[in-house]
Amino acid sequence: MLIFEHAKAGRVNTAQALREKADTSDIPEQFRRRSKPRLPEVSELQAVRHYTRLSQQNFSIDTQFYPLGSCTMKYNPRACNTLALLPGFLSRHPHAPASTGQGLLATLYELQEYLKDVTGMAAVSLTPAAGAQGEFAGVAMIRAYHDARGDTARTEILVPDAAHGTNPATAIMCGYTVREIPTDDQGDVDLEALKAAVGPQTAGLMLTNPSTLGVFERKIVAIQKIIHEAGGLTYYDGANLNAILGKVKPGDMGFDVIHMNLHKTFSTPHGGGGPGAGPVGVSKRLEPFLPIPLVARDKDGGYRLLTEAERPQSIGRLSAHMGNVGVLLRAYVYARLLGREGMHQVAEFATLNANYLMAELGKAGFDLAYPERRATHEFIVTLEKLAKETGVRALDVAKRLLDYGIHAPTTYFPLLVPECLLIEPTETEAKEALDEFVRVMRTILDEARRDAAMVKGAPYTLPVRRLDDVKAAKELDLAYRG
Amino acid sequence: MAFIPHTDEDIQAMLAAIGAPSIEALFDEIPAELRAGPLERVPERLSEMEVQRLMRERAEQDRQPLCFIGAGAYEHHIPAAVWELTTRGEFYSAYTPYQAEASQGTLQLLYEYQSMMASLTGMDVSNASMYDGASALAEAVLMAVRIHKSARRVLMPATVHPIWRRVVESIVKHQRIELVELPYCTEGGHTIPESLERFAGEDFAALVIPQPNFFGVLEDVDALTDWAHAHKMLAIGVVNPTSLALLRPPGEWGETGADIVVGEGQPLGIPLSSGGPYFGFMACKQAYVRQMPGRIIGATTDLDGKRGYALTLQAREQHIRRSKATSNICTNQGLMVTAATIYMALTGPEGLARVAAASHANTRRLAEQLDGLAGAEIAFARPYFHEVVVRLPRAANAVLKDMEAQGILGGFDLTPYYPELGDALLVCATETKSDADLAEYVQAFAKSLKAFDLSRFA
């Protein structure tokens, strides 16, 4: 049932209703609403019961294993949430003076410093609201850098085909055209193709590393050299930072920009699709272009936000305020709980879990996309052969996993590998959870060979069976009309 | 440390299964010269108890004075049930609902949200949210340019939030889109429809129409919408969602309504949170839905014909079309939308109307007491909603500093953004302010202005 179907005209909930309606007769008739908006008219209990029941129809980290490649669904420590919700931070107005926010600003300043440290970059801005907005900031800074030098003939961004789909979309938003660079059969960037593509029109390269193929780009030093020698800048997509935290610093490798998805590596919950936070780190030469506001510490030890006047070359503001402060606070608490000694453990155990799972699935009879390579924090299984033999596709295996209480891995991404599952267990899962996943995968493989039709009909245990996506797009029903 | 469950025994068994001598060996594909040195600025770890003490001390330091600032972020009462439900792990720690069958809770909630926002704005369809109001306006401008095809200029009144205008500028300028500023009437604080005539015959993709505008003033939205349509432009409405319980929704502006509507969703149950996370909302006419960025949820049926919900129109999105997507946006503000949906369900049309009316009435009562007090006056004569511009006889930042010393955040200083107004404050009193709060404001305000008067004549 929809919340609207619990409603009855004239029912007023006591939770919010002020005792009486104040006088608004000074607003002239021409401006006034004539019909009531269709918001639910339900009691507090009806609403509580309805949304509690809805929540129970979700898979979530708190209830299920979520081996979702490239999305890093790991445990979100409870302390991060509790401490981000303290009233001093939560009730503060974004335009309140800095004098009433020294505790907050000190915290954000320290977070900037920690992120500089783990990325090896010269400066960090916390303001991008999500990874994709961080990417936008990164490419906009590349553009601002070339423009400031009068180097305006650079019109093209290079994007390896093993990158996230946001990379090409971001380059377009920043006014560039995109040239895709192919991957070789080992999963590394094809250097010859890269050399052929680079030229005076190259503004920069966006590199996802480890790539969405689940492997570390081994030729990264050569790639950097090729781009920099052509006068382009290098962008590090930090979406997969979990795999290298404390092990490799993109700044030390010579990259000019990186964005970080704090909701992944720094463990803030995905919330059903957001909010995230996508801070950007830059090399010295890009520092003047960082998006504002930035948190600064004055000589007297006080903290404040730097704005346009003090940062004339900034690419500007990307949102009305500071960015997703609540997410930043959670990331800060997480960083303090881990400390310097915990940071590299993230990468170590994410990598251990991924390689263990890859080895065990290989033994269970699954084809690995890159069997000769080390997994990073994720790896790819390809079901091409199974699909040919039985008709059971990656999607079917994904849906059948749901029946066993495990969220599906990422399916059909990256686009380069046929019938693929991109699997990322993360460091917070115990060996028992991984063994159970292998057991279930083995069972599904048997099922597929014995009774393909049954697997293709999955799931059977959820509130709905397989949904008709084509109908959803063709017969658009985007709002309740009652 | 690092929330890792592994025992030594586990580690040994796993390494044996992999055939690797050590965890370190798993990184052997990374060229040795790239390996990072030790971290320098990240401090040693703290226990949960120690972090708790640290954060409490900092939050305590930031205890907030009584706040009369609005300017795009508003303090409203949030019913207790809203965040009790929103932070349930099943909502809080769920992923984007790509596996629809395992995410019916989030998907149905987002469908309910879209339904509520479509009705509140009077539009056909809503998406499932954007980062914030300002960036949603930027996306609306990009969307209008895509729909219009021939024009790359947009008319942007100076009565639109000045910070939002800067955000739009930073996001759209790379695509050679130009924002042309429209002046406002210095007596009324609104955009004069007749002043647009000088742009008649020129090629613009859209006219942006704020209601209420940044000054709280109500614009002639019917005339502005009709003018835009008469000149082959789209009308982009920018609205405060609380106001829509009382004010005519953009879908009903002029003859045929606005085409795209955006705004900041924070007033619908989201705490002020020092500026975020908030969420932007976006709604449009059905005809433009394929040009709308962001996630959209559709109702459909399953194999058994049972009703269910799924992400739809994904061909617009970056993970399908890459460089041809409507936007690079790959997330929404799901958890904020969860809170807003529950907030709207708990307030209903009557509750939201009472919140809007009480907020407006409180601001009006405050404005009446300030008008004429010690040289201050209400700047504009037009009708307004829940926010008002007060002109001052002395520098706004000095008044704000005096008031802060008395425990009150007195408003938003307009001087840096609208120097032509002289010394002026934007003041907002929502339903959260009691009679005693208003009295405290008036007292602190009068004291600051009178102290100034004394010093001037000393």
Give A453-457's long-range contacts (Cβ < 8 A, gap of 24+): A455/A392, A455/A396, A455/A397, A455/A400, A456/A391, A456/A392, A456/A396, A457/B303
Which of A230, A231, A205, A226 minimizes the C-alpha distance to A150? A231
Across B37-66, average pLDDT: 95
Count CB neighbours of A443 within 10 A. 13
Sort out which chain A residues have CB atoms less than 8 A from B305's CB and list them.
none
Phi, psi of B243 (to 5 degrees): -65, -25
Q: Which of A309-313, B238-242, B315-319 has the lowest mean pLDDT?
A: B315-319
pLDDT on residue B203? 96
Helices and strands, counts by H and E, chain B: 12, 15
C-alpha distances in angstroms, A94 versus A97, A98, B336?
Answer: 8, 10, 17
pLDDT on residue B317? 81
Q: Which of B8, B24, B46, B55 to probe by mutation at the A interface, max A CB count within 10 Å?
A: B55
Buried b (16+ CB within 10 A) or exposed e, B125-164: bbbbbbbbbbbbbbbbbbbbbbbbeebebbbbbbbbbebb
The one-character DSSP state at B452 is: H
- pLDDT tens digits, B34-48: 999 889 999 999 999
Q: What is the chain A residue with the closest CA to B11?
A: A352
pLDDT on residue B454? 59
The whole-chain average pLDDT of chain B stands at 95
Please check whether residue B8 touches A, CB under 8 A: no
The one-character DSSP state at B203 is: -
- pLDDT tens digits, A255-278: 999 999 999 999 889 999 999 999
How close does chain B come to A116, measured CA to CA in Å?
8
How close does chain A come to B202, measured CA to CA in Å?
24
Phi, psi of A383 (to 5 degrees): -105, 25
Domains and CATH numbers, chain B: 66-72+351-455 (3.90.1150.10), 80-343 (3.40.640.10)
Residue with tokens 């339900």: A42
A339 in Cβ contact with B45 (< 8 Å): yes
- For this complex, say whether ipTM is above 0.95: yes
Across B22-28, average pLDDT: 97
- pLDDT tens digits, A161-187: 988 888 999 999 999 999 999 999 999
Alpha-carbon span B300 to B308, nearest angstrom: 5
What is this structure's pTM? 0.97
Sort out which chain B residues have CB atoms less than 8 A from A55's CB and list them.
85, 88, 90-91, 105
Q: Do A274 and B3 touch (CB under 8 A)?
A: no
Please check whether residue B172 touches A, CB under 8 A: no
A125 in Cβ contact with A292 (< 8 Å): yes
Phi, psi of B379 (to 5 degrees): -75, -35
pLDDT on residue B321? 78
Please check whether residue B305 touches A, CB under 8 A: no
Spell out, as residue ranges, where chain A has pLDDT lower than 50. none
Q: Which of A47, A58, A457 sits opposite B94 (nearest CB)?
A: A58
Q: Is the pLDDT of residue B458 over 50?
A: no
Alpha-carbon span B367 to B433, nearest angstrom: 14
Q: Is the pLDDT of residue B456 over 60?
A: no
Q: Which of A160-174, A290-304, B284-298, B398-412 has the lowest mean pLDDT?
A: A160-174
Alpha-carbon span A12 to A25, nearest angstrom: 22
One-letter amino acid identity for A225?
A: K
Q: Do A135 and B328 touch (CB under 8 A)?
A: yes
Q: H or E stretch including B206? A: strand B206-211
Alpha-carbon span A77 to B220, nearest angstrom: 50
pLDDT on residue B455? 58
Q: H or E stretch including A206? A: strand A202-208
One-letter amino acid identity for A286?
A: L
A344 in Cβ contact with A246 (< 8 Å): yes
Sort out which chain A residues have CB atoms less than 8 A from B125's CB and list them.
476, 478-479
Q: Do A319 and B135 touch (CB under 8 A)?
A: yes
The pair of three-digit structure tokens given for residue A200, joined into one six-digit string = 């005076």
Name which residue leads in pLDDT, B73 or B327. B73
Phi, psi of A123 (to 5 degrees): -155, 155
Q: Do B64 and A269 touch (CB under 8 A)?
A: no
Integer-rounded Cα radius of gyration of chain B: 26
A122 in Cβ contact with A258 (< 8 Å): no
Residue with tokens 């010859």: A192
Q: Do A13 and B347 touch (CB under 8 A)?
A: yes
Alpha-carbon span A155 to B174, nearest angstrom: 12
Alpha-carbon span B284 to B149, nearest angstrom: 17
The pair of three-digit structure tokens given for residue B265, joined into one six-digit string = 């969703």
How close does chain B come to A161, measured CA to CA in Å?
10
**Residue A457 burial by CB count (10 A; 0-12/13-18/19+): exposed, middle or buried?**
middle
For the CA atoms of A286, A291, A293, A297, the dihedral, rounded to the nearest 10 degrees, stands at -10
Q: Is the pLDDT of residue B114 over 90?
A: yes
Q: Do B26 and A97 touch (CB under 8 A)?
A: no
How close does chain B come to A389, measured CA to CA in Å?
24
Q: Which of B10, B120, B300, B301 to probe by mutation at the A interface, max A CB count within 10 Å?
A: B300
How close does chain B come to A256, measured CA to CA in Å?
16
The pair of three-digit structure tokens given for residue B223, joined into one six-digit string = 């005339």
Q: Do A92 and B289 touch (CB under 8 A)?
A: no
pLDDT on residue B328? 87
